[in-house]
Amino acid sequence: MSENEKVGGLDPERKVAGDAPIAGAGAVAPVEERKKREYKDMEEKPTGDQHARVDMKTIQFTATDLYDKDKVDIEHVVMEEVFQLLQCTDEGLTDAEATNRIGIFGPNKLEEKKENVLLQFLSFMWNPLSWVMEGAALVAIALANGEGEPPDWYDFVGIVLLLLVNSTIGFVEERNAGNAVKALMESLAPKARVKRGGAWREIESSELVPGDVVAFKHGDICPADCRLVDAVDVSMDQAALTGESLPQGKKLGDECFSGSTCKQGEAEGLVISTGPNTFFGRAATLVGQDNDQTGHLQMVLAQIGSFCLVSIGTFVLLEILVLYADYRYSYRRGLNNILVLLIGGIPIAMPTVLSVTLAVGAQQLAKHKAIVTRITAIEELAGVTILCSDKTGTLTTNKLTIDKENVKCYSKWDVEGVCLLAAYASRVENQDAIDGCVVGTLSDPKLARAGIDLLDFKPFNPVDKRTEITYRDHADGGKLKRATKGMTGIIIDLCSRDKSSEMEDQLEHDVEEFARRGLRALAVAHEDVMGDEKDSQGNGFELVGLLSIFDPPRSDTKQTIDDAMALGVKVKMVTGDQLAIAKETGRRLGLGDHMYPAKVLKEGPPPGGKHLTLDEMIMDADGFAGVFPEHKFEIVKRIQGLGHLCAMTGDGANDAPALSRANVGIAVEGATDAARGAADIVLTEPGLSTIVHAIHGSRVIFQRMRNYAVYACAVTIRIVVCFAIMAFVWEFDFPAFMVLIIAVLNDGTIMTLSVDRVLPSSTPDSWDLAEVFAYGIGYGIYLTASTVALFAVMRHTDFFERRFGVEPLAKGDDVNDWGGHMVIYLQVAIISQALIFVTRSHGPSWTERPSTALMVAFCIAQLISSIIAAYGNWWFTWVRAISGGWIGIVWVWNIIWYFPLDLVKFALKATIIKYLQKRKASKAAAAPALDASPESRLQRTASRHESMYSNRTSFLGRAANRLKGGAKVSMSKNELSRFSSIQAQQSGAALQRASSRV
């Protein structure tokens, strides 16, 4: 129990005796029995030690048996059984025994698997869209030969280069992603003081084994999970495990967790588990369990890819049937037409374009002090509808403060006097959190010892639950005095001077008020010493005041919450603190106090209440209090199950499971290594204001990605439908290499979308793929019509020759005139790139100014396209240069066809898109999110460093699930970066079962 909990609040089970006899009162008159005061303390009662659940003789000396919870809970059995199970004594092990146990339990460390860099790079080519392009490359090099012609080396090289560019960007992204393993591994102490053969020495912590006796003191890190066999005023900082703001007192038999820090006292402990069997190590057994889920962006991109694949596959099949079966094309000629659809229809650059867009967005967020460790989290943040936030250290400062406005005075001292007396009764060096916040109420910490001589000081201890100072007061003629502060029930019981029933009633009322508001109470008393010695008797303590201790909200938190709500994001507090404290914090922040204790997550809503299901209660609540890591995880999981994208903020390892599970895990400034390892975004400035900037920035990035998605679908339809129709109608054979040129120029221009000017949404964004596909089909068919119409005029009329005096192309039997190929190439290249100005705008395309980079890239690409058309006499790809007249005709033709593109957009909005939106709204009304099928919900993967389109599951994570302990756990860096999550989950569960109390 943290000290602020020890000293504050009222306890429903604690009965404090009536008044002690008043000092100096005479003898022995019977004292009228007065009502018992019930002071509520916030601590729980320890559950006591346990015993093995099976016959000790049946337990073998192996990790499998020792860490089998069904047989024995080694963390909580009585110490005699711990020594018996580990076959050791308090004199420690011999070197021979330790060496033998290394072979049984393994070293006290987690091993990481070395990854094959080449295989990791090649894994980025393992996704459906890449498979199609790889198939096209094989067709070009292996199948497209014969009939006296060599393989199609030009198309093969172009395809391979596109694949390599895409894979390189993805590879670099993943290799540079944040890796929390190093920080987490460093949290294990590299050295340990151990008793071997009855003598103390220092060894590498990796050499520790179960049965070793270790020692640690103030400032040391506990090197392994151990049970205390000797403890002197021990306090351990377990914030990296539980997120509690104060160190925890430990006594004999209590467990200290690997990685926790000793803040006070000295201790000797018996090592009970090491390496993969510690709380840190056990996390590895659950890493990878959720890897079968697919990331939100990955799922969206997969559906867009499926749309493109189905479109291509349909027209490839039609070409096979028509060109070979009907037109009797030769083998090589038919393959060339099929390659056009495969190469031109697949948006192979989609992962590359979106990677660049997200990477640029990540750099922009970094300017607002938000470091993105999982780049696809940016897209998910744009769609977040619910933000779950931890309280301690996130919404609040995680720094206890005396609220001077609430100080209660019961004697002649005023507020400043009460605070000064409390500061006297506090340490000024090696302060704990309580002493620090009390002394912090003074304008100058030196005042805590100014004008007095310290004669004796009694620090806080678990028995007395108070501190006491005896001092000489120079301002009062050098008189000796005493001051004490501590737990309310203890202090009032100690007081014997000027104590009345009215005062006790008032004190009880004030403490209950503090408890209702979640404020911890600290009582202060004072007495004059009757002699000149520090041990002389006093005239009786007098209650002088009551201090309230709380963890104040950060200065910018309220504004941040208001801003988040204005963006359509609901904020919920999810804290391990008590319900009253959570409600008080919620009221101060304007968050609301409609909060529930964690037990409702297990028991469900109370019968007869307004909520029929737990899901309804979760959605209606402003927050939950008293939660453990598994509760936070469950809340996030249920919110996701209701169809919402959920973000979670936190700073401790107790937040790590929820940070890992959430669509977007956000570690705030000062977060533990475990929290940073589980998070997707790490804030480097205090407070949550950065989150608002991140949400705004992510919505800008989302709009850029959506614009590209519409564009990619439109280009796919435009290529496959256009060239299939031209082949069916005129037996037109467009050269595949020119499609590659179009793709390269298009993608080079589209890359600049990553810095384009767009208007972010004022509400959470979501992927409505039906709308994306509808826009893509509409634009694609319109662009197809522009090309087919141009070729029809070229083919069947002499309009261009007669009006502009250009040479005739594609006339008579020469439908595949090389100059005609170049005209179609130029027309397709120009109008396809111009489409981006329509997809990026909500209104008329000329009313929303694009970025300078996009305009410059577009102009350069069109210049290159025109130069190729004017000078590209490339015999290997069946094109020849065309005259300036034809280039001008194509430009004018495209300009004429460009302006109605906006009309196509507005027509789609007024008809198909409007219909889709109405249908979506009616479905939502008929089947609310509570009843949505799990298959229809988009959830993110538990793996943080996935590449787009792929979900490369680590089988090591699954294999680790079957380990009962004892075996060496070898995991990849990417998977190991998540192990903090379950370490915290297991720790929280253990603390809930039997937490250490003083």
Catalytic residue IDs:
390
> From the centroid of its chain, how far is CA 49?
37
Residue 856 tokens read as 């410059």
Give the integer Cα–Cα distance in Å for 648 and 664: 6
Q: Residue 695: name the closest of 649, 656, 629, 728 by CA.
A: 649
> What letter represents residue 550's amino acid?
F
Interhelix angle 736-750/852-871, nearest 10 degrees: 160
Give the integer Cα–Cα distance in Å for 472 and 766: 70
Q: How many CB atoms lie within 10 A of CB 30?
A: 5
> Is 722 in contact with 828 (CB distance < 8 Å)?
yes
- Helix H or strand E segment including 545: strand 542-550
> Residue 483, SS3?
strand
Residue labelled with tokens 């919110």: 639
Give the integer Cα–Cα distance in Å for 467 and 434: 11
Give the integer Cα–Cα distance in Å for 232 and 268: 9
Give the integer Cα–Cα distance in Å for 365 and 687: 16
Q: Residue 356: name the closest of 168, 134, 159, 180 by CA.
A: 168
Please give the DSSP secondary-structure letter assigned to residue 897: H
> Is 891 in contact with 827 (CB distance < 8 Å)?
no
Kindly tell me the sign of the dihedral angle through the C-alpha atoms of 687, 688, 692, 697.
positive
H-assigned helices in 8-152: 63-66, 79-86, 95-105, 117-122, 128-138
> Is 154 in contact with 141 (CB distance < 8 Å)?
no
Residue 332 tokens read as 């090589």
Q: Residue 601: name the closest of 573, 633, 578 by CA.
A: 633
> Is 591 in contact with 561 (CB distance < 8 Å)?
yes
Give the integer Cα–Cα distance in Å for 59 and 68: 10
Can you point out the beta strands (E) in 128-212?
191-196, 199-204
Binning the chain into helix, strand and coil, the percentages to the nearest 5 are 50, 15, 35
> Residue 32, SS3?
coil
> Residue 402, SS3?
strand
Q: What is the dihedral of CA 750, 755, 760, 765, to 10 degrees?
A: 50
Q: Partners of 468 in the beta sheet? A: 458, 484
Q: Residue 845: name the closest of 794, 903, 897 by CA.
A: 903
**The pairing of beta strand 664-667 with beta strand 645-650:** parallel
From the number of C-beta atoms within 10 Å of its C-beta (0-12, 13-18, 19+), residue 762 rates as exposed
> Is 709 in contact with 703 (CB distance < 8 Å)?
no
> What letter represents residue 440's amino acid?
G
Please give the DSSP secondary-structure letter assigned to residue 767: -
Give the integer Cα–Cα distance in Å for 827 and 887: 9
Q: Residue 545: name the closest of 353, 406, 749 by CA.
A: 406
**177 CB-near residues (< 8 Å, 6+ apart):** 373, 374, 375, 944, 945, 974
Please give the DSSP secondary-structure letter assigned to residue 931: G
Q: How many CB atoms lie within 10 A of CB 941?
A: 19
Q: How many CB atoms lie within 10 A of CB 752?
A: 23
